[in-house]
Structure 1
Amino acid sequence: MTPGPPRARTRLRHAARMTHSTRSSHPRRRTTPRHPVSPRGLRTLRATWERQAAEAGGPGGFHHLHGPHTHGWLLADAVPELLEPIVHADDDPLEPTFFAHLDAPVAEALLARFAPAHLVHRSNGSPTLGNQLRATVAHPGEITLHGFVLGPGRCDERLVSEGALVRFEADLLVTEHHAPGCECELLWAYAVDELGLDDAEHAPHRIHRIHRAEAPDETWWRLLWA
């Protein structure tokens, strides 16, 4: 191969030196998460809710038109510590705090701590919270719940389960828009008759199969009222 003209070879060597020096003088930037997650710890959720309750009960606190205008019942009896492992605390007192993987031990502990008035909440026609917690306790390893908490910064402070993950070992045909042949009614009948999710106002809005990384050999379904 015939080498190029001397001037061209000089330009190539110069470009190589520039490229090397540029790369070495500018280290790779570190990326910063756009939405940092609240730090974990046993006191994180309690501290957040205590601050929200104090601000809501103060002279500049926000109150809903309809509501008891009292704040803080979720702070009683170690409830924040029970929920801490399954939620991410939100610093905005008016925004919901979402939870997932609420299983039988947590459900049993909440049932022992919540007053009857706190167990009647439902999401868009779902079973009541009390019904879902009792079903989860009665069928450990078969149901987990997910939903949201409205914390002590709000007058409508409460915990709401808007969906359940149900283990049902069947290869059903479940379509997004319940086309002819959809077998979602079989799964819903199982949830009502066998698992005890029996006080819903209507069937879930959505049912679909999900993959759980921690249980790859099991068949799980999401029942969602949202």
Structure 2
Amino acid sequence: MATVHDVGTIDRTEPGWLRTAWAEVMANKRWPGPAHNGAERGFLLGDDIPETLEPYINARWDPEFEELGTRILAFSRLDAPAAESLLAALPKPALKLDLSGYAPPAAIVLRVVADHPGTVLAGGWLLSPELPGEAIQVRELTILDPTLVDMAPDVTPAELPAWIEELPADDYAAYLDARADCLEHGITRQAWILAVGRYGVTGARRFPYMRIVTDDETGTRGVWFGW
């Protein structure tokens, strides 16, 4: 029997596909008790939550995840209006610290996004109401602020050694790439310190992964932080 998870059953181009998928799941399977985060089961179907999230899931859909159907969905580029809507609609238990990861609590990340329209975007994962761990996991933050990266790195490489000229072409390129990574890491490490102070990104349980990015839509440089 076909389910909402079978390829082709849900047309992701149709408005409302996410609510349709999750509602059908809830109609056929219910886990006893609340979700693992303490929120009432099916909270992701509350208010306009599916409609708010839907455009950002499509923005990052990858055929690699097709077999997961609607069980686990990636989202990205979630902006200020969407963050504000989610803060108002999601129950408090769903916004608290997610102990399955190291990111700040969703409440903090979404508030940072909501307070900085056009500059801060969020991403992460949705675990559907079908799963006992139903959740919204906000695990990425992109801050499009060129001043975070327009600085001198705190890692200064030494002069290139003379023996580099004797390396094969591939090894020569790899060595230069490694040096560039060293410089970029020096910049992003400082960028995280600035982001915490300037944007209030507090509550992380671990130093994030980072990379310098250029926004495809605006051309603005910034930093992607991920946990």
1:141 match: secondary structure? coil
TM-score, structure 1 length as denominator? 0.70
2:144 is equivalent to residue 171 of structure 1: no
Task: Select the residue among 197, 208, 211 that pairs with 1:193.
Answer: 197
Task: Give the counterpart of 2:57 among 73, 80, 87.
Answer: 87
Hey, what's the Cα distance between the residues in 2 that align with 1:104 and 1:176? 36
Q: Alpha carbons of 1:40 and 1:62: their partners in 2 closer, same or farther (altered >3 Å)?
A: farther
Alignment of structure 1 residues 7-86 onto 2, 5 Å: 38-57=11-30, 71-86=41-56
Structure-2 residue corresponding to 1:220: 222
Give ranges in structure 2 of 5+ residues lacking alignment. 1-6, 156-176
Count, aligned residues: 186
Rounded to whole Å, the distance in 2 between the matches of 1:193 and 1:148 is 26
Deviation at 1:202, TM superposition (A): 2.2
User: Do the aligned partners of residues 145 and 219 (structure 1) sit closer, same or farther apart at CA in structure 2, a change above 3 Å counting?
Assistant: same
In terms of Rg, which structure is larger? 1
Q: Distance in 2 between matches of 1:220 and 1:67?
A: 32
CA contact (8 A) 1:63 1:155 kept: no
The structure with the greater share of residues assigned to helix is 2
2:132 maps to: 155
2 CA distance for matches of 1:94 and 1:84?
Answer: 11
For structure 1, the 5+ residue unaligned runs are: 1-34
Match of 2:160 in 1: none
Instruction: Kindly state the Cα deviation for residue 109 of structure 1 after the two structures are TM-superposed.
Output: 0.4
Cα displacement string for residues 171-199 of structure 1 (whole angstroms, at most 9, x for unaligned residues): 35599897477232210011100111011
**TM-score normalised to the size of structure 2?**
0.70
**What RMSD in Å do the two structures reach over aligned CA positions?**
3.3
